[in-house]
Structures are given as structure tokens and as C-alpha cells.
Amino acid sequence: MLNTVHCEPAVALPLTPCAHEPRCLHDHELHLIGTMPASLRIGSGARKETHRFAPGTVVLLGPHLPHTMAFAHRAMSGGDADGIVLRFGDEPLRRGMVLFPELGDAGPLLARARRGVQFVGLGEGTLARLRRIASLQGLARFSEFTVLLNELAQWTDYRLLADEAPALHGEGADEHGHAVRIHKAMDHIRDNYAEAMSLGEVGAIVGMRENAFSRSFRRATGQTFTDFVIGLRVATACRLLASTRQQVSSICYEVGFNNISNFNRHFRRLQGMTPGEFRASARA
């Protein structure tokens, strides 16, 4: 996750009548327009639209959205003075949602980004946070980025820039369709992790054959289906051990394990200690 967010100065083409080939990236782009007004050409062919932005505007562009960002005047350095672009991958962020469900609050924002989003009236605190991210690295950058993402996800004054999200074709369409199904599967697992479930049953729920679902699930999450379910159960058990006085055996069955020895084995494998030792350390 530490390499998910990249920050760079804004560098763009000068705004001229010439037609430039639109870019179609696999990452999200979060633009802070610098001291020069900017123009965004979005879409392609007959669906191409042009939007103009004043300095200080923040724009989020999703993956696979054809676009060209251009400045009203070229800066001497070839870039836009104090303009910033944050790039962050879609797949790594969605994988992070598996480990940190709180990141799922950004899901609706990322869905809107496929049409392009202009945020209206953002406060100086949010703009300052965006600029501050450029000076940070590693975990500090990602931590600040998640706060920014939360603020943008909750911002209700925005404008969508394209009438509809771009259609995906070929391999890209297949990948997107699989990703949607995998996210639906993960939602189902999170809601029903304590129940008995199999790879084939969940694959059928999202309309995928068992082998294809298994491959796509592992590619999207970095885990097998079984390890993902066990990880959720153990994580829930950890919260219950730390926050309640329930007996270990009660917690074992509540989170979906069918016997104590199986629960203890998986818990020790993932946490490096027994459930009792975990509870003691959490209360120390």
C-alpha cells in the first residue's frame, strides 16, 4: 500500500486548437490546478467534452477515462507552477479495502471518478492537505492520503464531467467485469463469513465458474478464497477477545469455526500466539 500514492508536479500540454491524442490511464488522477487556468478535454470522438477550471480547482479522474489536461498558458518550466497531480492505482486501493474495510467508504467516490469529478468549494484545509502530501513519503504519505480521500468522499458539492462512464472493450472489459464480481463476492463474504460457504457457492452467486473465480479472487486479493475467509474470522475473533469477556470457545463458534483445535491452529498461525495470550496482551 505504501507505493499506491505517487505525487508529481503538474505538467501538461499548452491549450491550442490542435487536437491531441487523449490519454487513457489505468490509475486515478487527482489534480490540483495551480496558478494558471486549465482546460480538460474529456472523452473521445463524438463524446468529447471540454471543461475549463480556475486556479485552485480540484478534479478527480478515474481509470480508463480518455482525457487531455492543458493549460491556458505554458509556464517557462513547461509545467503549471504549484499545480499537483496525485496518481493512485485502483487495484491496490481495492485490495486495501479487503484488509481495512473502512477504505470501502471511498467506493462511491471511486465509482463517480469514472465520469470525472470536479469538487466545488473545497476548504483551504483540504487544499493544504493535498499540497502537504507532496512533501511526505511512505506511511506518512499514505496516512495523509486516506484522510484526504475520506474528506473528498464526504464532499457533497461536486460536478460530474462526463455524461456517462467510458465503455470498456476487449481485455479491459473482461478485467473490469471480473473486478466488479470479485468485489461483490467480497461483500457477500464479509456479510456471511461466520456461515459455512464454499468457493463454488460464492462463485455461483456472482456468476463465475469455480476455477475462473478462484483465479480472479486470488489475483484481486493476493489470497486464496479459504485464507481470505479464515483471515476475516480471526480478525473478528481478535476484536471480540480484546473488547469482550466472552469465553474463547464461544468466540470460536461465533466467528464461524466448527471446533476449538481448528480455531486455535489458525489463530496461532496468523497471530503468532494463542487466543488466550492475545487477550492477555491486549489488556496489558
Mean pLDDT of 217-231: 84
Q: Which span out of 21-35, 106-120, 165-179, 236-250 was modeled with the highest average pLDDT?
A: 236-250
- What's the confidence (pLDDT) of residue 70? 62
- Report d(CA 269, CA 96) in Å as an integer: 21
CA 232 to chain CA centroid, nearest Å: 19
* Tens-digit pLDDT profile for residues 253-273: 999 999 999 999 999 998 999
Q: Do the domain assignments include residue 165?
A: no
Asked if residues 221 and 186 have their Cβ atoms less than 8 Å apart, the reply is yes
Dist CA 220 CA 84 (whole Å)? 29
CATH number at residue 267: 1.10.10.60
User: What is the rounded radius of gyration, in angstroms, for the C-alpha atoms of the chain?
Assistant: 23
Question: What is d(CA 121, CA 53) in angstroms, rounded to the nearest whole number?
Answer: 13
Query: Residue 223: pLDDT above 60?
Result: yes
- Same domain? For 104 and 21 the reply is yes
| pLDDT value, residue 76 | 36
Burial-class residue 97 by CB neighbours within 10 Å (0-12, 13-18, 19+). Answer: buried
Domain count, the chain: 3
Over residues 142-166, mean pLDDT: 86
Which domain, by its residues, includes 132? Answer: 5-160
If asked whether residues 249 and 207 sit together in one domain, one would say no
Distance CA 72, CA 51 (A): 12
Query: What's the full length of the chain, in residues?
Result: 284
Residue 39 has pLDDT above 60, yes or no: yes
Name the more confident of 67 and 35.
35
Judged against a pLDDT cut of 60, whether residue 188 lies above it is answered with yes
Instruction: Estimate the crossing angle of helix 275-283 against helix 225-243, to 10 degrees.
Output: 50
97 touches 103 (CB < 8 A):
yes
Residue 89 and residue 28: Cα distance in Å, rounded? 6
Task: Give yes or no: residues 110 and 174 share one domain.
Answer: no
Specify if 252 maps to a domain.
Answer: yes
Confidence of residue 101 (pLDDT cuts 50, 70, 90): confident
